[in-house]
Structure 1
Amino acid sequence: MKKSKFLTLFFAAAAVSPAIAQDGGSKVFGGAKQFRTWQLGINAGVATPFVFLGGHNDYNKPDYNFGYGAYIQKQITPAFGLKLDYQGGKVSGSYDPDENNQGKPAFNDFSTKINYAASLQAQIDLTSLLLKRDSKVALYVQGGYGLTGYKPDGNKRTEQFIPVGGGLKFKLTEGINLDLGYTMNFLDADNLDRTWFGPSNDKWSYGYAGLNFALGSKSKKNLDWVNPYALMYDELKDNELRQEVETLKSRVAATEGDVSNIKKDADGDGVSDVFDKEPNTPAGNVVDGAGRTIVFPKTVSKPKVEDKIAQWNADFKNILFDTGKATIRPESLSILEKAANEMAEYPQYKFYVDGYTDNVGNAKTNKTLSQKRAAAVAQALKNNGVEASRIKSRGFGSEKPKCSNKTTEGKQCNRRVEIKLQ
């Protein structure tokens, strides 16, 4: 089987291990922090180029050499852990022509030192799948992927390999285990024995015995010795848990009642009756977040500029000047202030300020006086905020009478200042 297929099948099997084991402590749902989940292991044993599954070997007579190893393991659930594993040692063998009629390889024997074989393996504890409370023995299988470095001849080599194996753990104390295991290492090459010979890649196995130490607080149990099924069985019979469940049911019922009340909206304004400050809002009204009707200000249309000019000119009839002068009397300044404020509402328009007189006196003098009075009014408008670029003053004297100069009323009518569009 190819490495990719093997890894897929192995980790798929690991994935179906009891996920409930992430919960822990004295109760199933107590939290993983109530356990010790890290372990450190050391071991020693025998390394040989044969595996118990059989298969072809270039050298048909294996030697049994000293091997050693170490690992660090993270227990994810009681049934599933990940470990970073290291192996070292020597693998050797020889050729016996009288053994199984196998063809002779290039050399009579070989001896290869394995400098390192580092792998990441997943371990599944089969014992934790059983309903047993205080197990002292655990049967496990493991497998993964790794890289190994060795020197079969004059050249150093680094190759991929697949470790597959299993073993037994014996609980000596709460934090120390005896670990007996066997691992078959399938190499992705045919050069471990310095011979490229035969129909298959090389392999070696490692049988070992060692100790496993749990890391962390001694007051906590080891996650790998916890049986979640037994804990769950005990909890389901626990009266305290039953009371908690009944209390939770009551709270859920009360919450459902509160939610039902929140959904009520008698007047249909989109605001719950619980929060509605105006319970009987008429249909169609727009409301705020508290259910109160929003009263929008009515839009007042602005008068046309021509109508405003007519109004200003009517007001300007009340502007008074000192006799024969262009000095505006103080009581008339409020009229100009009001006009200036209203001109600000028509920023797109520019205006003339035109001055006129009656026909009494010298025409030239009258024209000069009308120009000065128009200029005084224009300046007053500017002083009240109208931009200078929007105002120009002109004086026409007695040239454009509006009324007859034959009567006193007519002459008063002609003495005027008016606004016109530019």
Structure 2
Amino acid sequence: MVSKKYVAMLGLLGMAHGVFAQDTNTTTTTTSPLSNTQSGWDDSSKISTKNMAQYNEFRNNAYPYPAKPRDMWQLGLIGGVTVPLFDVPNASFPGYTAGLYLRKSLGYTVSMRLAAQYAGAKGYGLAPTSPLNLPPAVRNAYTSSGMSWVPNYKMQAVIPSVELMFSLKNILFHQGNPKSNIYLTAGYSPMFYHTKIDALNGSAPYNFGSINFDGDRGDIRDAVKNMLDGDYETDADIQHRVQTLGSDFNRDKWRFRHVGFIGGGYEFRLGPRASLGFEAKYYITGDDYLDGRALQNDGSLTPEKDKLVTGNITLGFNIGDASKRTEPKWFINPLNYIYNEVNAPQHMKIPTPVLPDADGDGITDQFDQEPNTPAGAAVDSHGVARDSDGDGVPDYKDKELLTPQKCFPVNADGVGTCPPTCCDSIAAGLIQLKPKCDLGMLPSIQFKGRGITISTAAQASLAAVAQQMQANPDCKVNVTGHGASDKRAQQLSWDRTNAVIRYLVEKQGISENRFIFHYGVEGDPNTVDLEGTEEEGPNTAPAPNPQYQQRRR
């Protein structure tokens, strides 16, 4: 009998475990994190008066922890089956249970539930036994007639309870609020029960001699059930130290027992106002009289106390003003605030970063390769003073910014010494014929790939060109772009020529009429050449193939 009871209990718990395992392996939670307002931490209307001081301190960064918001209560229905683990086997179908509950969170993982259930169950023995468990008058009737009794019972119970429930699935590290929750529960019940026995057929004992007790268990149970008239006229024996609702040892009163129970369940969130749950509980009664049989045939006590297992479906409804309360906390992930704040800080005090730059050149000291550059000197991305012509004299000291390489080396002022030529004497004799425009050798501007962006180095070169043009107002500059192999090349040549002219006009303030626009000339397509001139020519030209034209950034 003991092994059969444990098999039944383990079977029910196995079914519950199967539900849990199915959710773990097949359900993919795609819940997006709720906003902070829905979680309630920053909504003052969801904070109780007693927690308002903490709320204000947190909002003002005077306290590190947010105030706990108010949440809704849950009122629910309970319905399911009762599986007795008694000495007398239960009927073909389990018993029933139904009730109500009221649940309130105590925190994000612990909640308390008050419940009241009504349960009932029946059972039928599978073999004749001694009538020792029957009341004296009925027992004497069986003894005097020489007949054996087959145990049976009809048990009813009222099970008020208080329990603590521990949520296991709402603190999540990789998603927001859960759509389902696993919980464990443990509690206490002052259980009231009343058990009756169908021991008499009218006023005479039953004669079970016609039943074949060597047959199939189901057939035996059906035969016993069919023989009984279903009156359940006899109050079952009771444990004499058990309290009753009337005087002690009064068999027709309801009995009272202190009962403990444990269990677990799985709850699904149906929406902000409802949830559906499945749960199993195991009740330890400490009583062996729930089925009316506590004695074996030899008069000794049966080895096991009676226990109950229930399997219930719960339907919960969240009650309360949604504008003043959040959903129950077991459906809120308390890590929402932390992760939202890390992702998009709105409340944290983030100090202004301090990146020292001792020489004020715009490059922080940790990256500056020349930490003592003079104020105002142009530097590159490493904080080193620019040297546009590469003569070893930085631009802020160089009195000849674009010294030709043939004139290297230069003196301390960056001025080169160009070698004499055979025509110097002729040039000296024709000094009076020196042209009005003498810009000297102007640089070529280099581009990369198919880009039209003026690089930082090119900007420095163009700044030097602008200085020379401002010093020689009578000079114009031929701006020549190369590339004539196809339409795309011609348009790229036009784009780069235009980019150079536009930079000198818009960034350096040189008048547009001082440039002569040339493009599509044979040569290096990545180069735009500049050359001083006194000639006249167009300072603009229409784009040859505008469908390939690039936009300046």
TM-score range, shorter chain: 0.3 to 0.5
TM-score (normalizing by structure 1): 0.46
Q: Looking at CA atoms only, which structure, 1 or 2, has the larger radius of gyration?
A: 1
